[in-house]
């Protein structure tokens, strides 16, 4: 894969550096110790990375077969504004996750884990830089009717803090390093699917951005999975910082937010028609859910192997489906704030069963972490039920 690198215009480059100094001052520590913790990896620095196109023609949708678009002015109406929303949402997630991760960095489980989180933050910063490149390198955005889009977007996004980002998953403060791990395991994995679906993007600068971002995203996913697996296995010896029950509560907390990042399960037709994505929302979510379920099963296998080292692989495989108290995914409609009327703000338990409101809140107190129950996010969620309770 041929990759070219570009710097943003000075105004945007300097603005992102100022944001980094305010929100991510530990970047300097990461750079100082990079070779110690990531030997053989190219050192990090801020640049937009532009890959060669797999296909120069639009691959899906209404304009399939036509040349990919290089000038925003060639997009019109809903196509143009949908592209802007996608870029802004992507950028917001990158900056938001940095703010969340750094809240609990100092209490990390190990130096390597801390530096892995720092690397994730650095690469998320580069991904935000990448999205500003998508908007700033093309002066024709203003010709198309979106005046001064790079300036407006930068001012808006760089002012956001936890609680004001575009997607709910990035508005929940972390409580401790288990949130860092679970976020990388579950929420960054949604990012993989979104980036993969956007590799076909009909606006070429966006399509060219996806492969380098996906390459970096793979480290985030691996870090999250490995750390969650390690902590789950440690519960078997009594040396773990969190119980298996608490790890399950964090899955219950973060998986619903990841599910909602795919949008309405019945939606996504416009993105395909415009050539922005190659999967409907529901198709992407189903694939994500299958993958996460498979990974949780692998974690459960590792837990049983640690509990019962005398068992062979076949016996472990059989036991993983029978042994109580292992990790599981909550029902796909559990704890949802977005979606159709039969999904959003519905009193469904982790198995998808409908409860009375009184039983529902009792259930939520049992299956969600106490740290989440005290957040502004959860208080707003609960308040949304008030009219139906009264």
Residue 311, Cβ density class (10 Å: 0-12 exposed, 13-18 middle, ≥19 buried): middle
CB 233 within 8 A of CB 307: no
At residue 353, the pLDDT reads: 96
Q: Give the pair of three-digit tokens for residue 137.
A: 């390198």
Residue 146's pLDDT band, with cuts at 50, 70 and 90, is: low
Percent of the chain with pLDDT over 70: 97
Place of tokens 């296909």: 55
pLDDT of residue 389: 42
Is 388 inside any structural domain?
no
pLDDT tens, residue by residue, 236-272: 988 889 999 999 999 999 999 999 999 888 788 999 9
Q: How many domains does the chain have?
A: 1
CA gap 132, 126 in Å, rounded: 10
pLDDT tens for 31-70 read 999 999 999 999 999 999 999 998 999 999 999 999 999 9
DSSP annotation of 242 reads S
Question: Is residue 103 assigned to a domain?
Answer: yes
For tokens 């189903």, name the residue.
286
pLDDT given at position 139 = 84
φ and ψ of 3, to 5 deg: -125, 125
Residue 327 lies in a domain: no
DSSP H or E run through 247: helix 244-260
Q: Which of 156, 365, 193 is nearest to 277 (CA)?
A: 193
pLDDT at 267: 83
Q: Is 48 buried (19+), middle (13-18) or exposed (0-12) by CB count in 10 A?
A: buried
**CA–CA separation, 316 and 34 (whole Å):** 39
Q: Is the pLDDT of residue 214 over 90?
A: yes
Q: What are the Cα distances from residue 15, in Å, to 20, 21, 88, 128? A: 9, 10, 16, 12
Q: Alpha-carbon distance 198 to 85, whole Å?
A: 13
Per-residue confidence (pLDDT) for residue 332, from 0 to 100: 95
For residue 337, being part of any structural domain is answered with: no
What is d(CA 21, CA 186) in angstroms, rounded to the nearest whole number?
28
* Residue-level length of the chain: 390
Residue 210 and residue 243: Cα distance in Å, rounded? 37
With 50 as the cut, is the pLDDT of residue 79 above it?
yes
Other C-beta atoms within 10 Å of 55: how many?
A: 10
Reduced to 3 states, what is the DSSP secondary structure of residue 4?
strand
Residue 144 pLDDT class (50, 70, 90 cuts): low
> pLDDT, tens digit, for every residue of 188-198?
999 999 999 99
Residue 13 covered by a domain: yes
Picking from 16-20, 150-154, 244-248, 310-314, which range would have the lowest pLDDT averaged per residue?
A: 150-154
Range of the domain at 133: 3-295
Q: Rg for the chain (alpha carbons), in Å? A: 22
Provide the pLDDT confidence category of residue 390 given band limits of 50, 70 and 90.
very low
Which H or E run contains 5?
strand 3-6
User: What is the spatial distance between Cα 376 and Cα 347, in angstroms, rounded to a whole number?
Assistant: 19
Query: What tokens were used for 330?
Result: 């909550």
- Stated pTM of the model: 0.93
> What is the per-residue pLDDT for 200?
96
* Structure confidence by residue, pLDDT tens digits, 294-322: 999 999 999 999 999 998 888 898 899 88
At how many degrees (to 10) do helices 244-260 and 357-367 cross?
120
| DSSP output for 121-184 | HHHHHHHHHHHHHHHHS-THHHHTT-TTHHHHHHHHHHT--TTSSSSGGGSS---SHHHHHHII
Are 137 and 205 in contact, with CB atoms under 8 Å apart?
yes
Please report, for the domain that includes residue 245, its CATH number: 1.10.620.20
Using one digit for the tens of pLDDT, what is the confidence trace for 331-362? 999 999 988 888 899 999 999 999 998 999 99
Q: Using the 8-state DSSP alphabet, how is residue 57 labeled?
A: B
Nearest to 155 by CA among 337, 16, 262, 258: 16
**Within a domain: residue 346?**
no
**Residue found under tokens 């039920």:** 385
- Would you say residue 196 lies in a domain? yes
In a domain, 8, yes or no: yes
Structure tokens at 247: 């790890």
């Amino acid at each position: 894969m041929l990759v070219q690198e570009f710097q943003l215009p000075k105004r945007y480059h300097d603005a992102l550096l100022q944001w980094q100094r305010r929100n991510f001052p530990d970047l300097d520590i990461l750079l100082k110790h990079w070779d110690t913790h990531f030997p053989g990896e190219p050192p990090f620095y801020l640049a937009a990375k532009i890959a060669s196109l797999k296909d120069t023609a639009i691959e899906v949708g209404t304009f399939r077969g036509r040349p990919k678009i290089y000038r925003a002015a060639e997009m019109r109406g809903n196509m143009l504004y949908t592209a802007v929303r996608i870029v802004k949402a992507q950028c917001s997630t990158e900056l938001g996750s940095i703010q969340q991760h750094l809240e609990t960095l100092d209490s990390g489980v190990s130096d390597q884990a801390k530096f892995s989180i720092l690397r994730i933050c650095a690469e998320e910063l580069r991904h935000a830089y990448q999205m500003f490149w998508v908007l700033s390198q093309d002066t024709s955005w203003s010709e198309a009717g979106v005046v001064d889009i790079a300036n407006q977007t930068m001012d808006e996004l760089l002012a956001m803090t936890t609680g004001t980002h575009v997607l709910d998953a990035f508005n929940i403060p972390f409580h401790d390093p288990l949130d860092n791990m679970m976020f990388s395991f579950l929420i960054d994995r949604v990012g993989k699917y979104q980036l993969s679906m956007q590799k076909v993007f009909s606006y070429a600068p966006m399509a060219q951005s996806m492969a380098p971002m996906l390459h970096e995203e793979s480290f985030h996913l691996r870090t999250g999975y490995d750390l969650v697996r390690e902590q789950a296995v440690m519960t078997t010896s009594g040396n773990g910082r969190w119980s298996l029950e608490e790890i399950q509560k964090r899955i219950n907390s973060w998986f619903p937010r990841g599910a909602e990042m795919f949008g309405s399960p019945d939606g996504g037709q416009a993105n395909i028609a415009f050539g922005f994505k190659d999967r409907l929302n529901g198709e992407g979510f189903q694939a994500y859910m299958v993958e996460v379920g498979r990974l949780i099963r692998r974690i459960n296998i590792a837990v049983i192997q640690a509990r019962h080292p005398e068992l062979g692989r076949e016996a472990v495989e059989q036991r993983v489906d029978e042994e109580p108290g292992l990790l599981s995914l909550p029902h796909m409609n559990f704890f949802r704030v977005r979606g159709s009327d039969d999904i959003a703000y519905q009193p469904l338990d982790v198995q998808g069963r409908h409860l009375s409101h009184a039983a529902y809140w009792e259930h939520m107190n049992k299956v969600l972490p106490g740290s989440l129950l005290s957040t502004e996010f959860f208080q707003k969620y609960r308040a949304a039920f008030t009219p139906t309770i009264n």
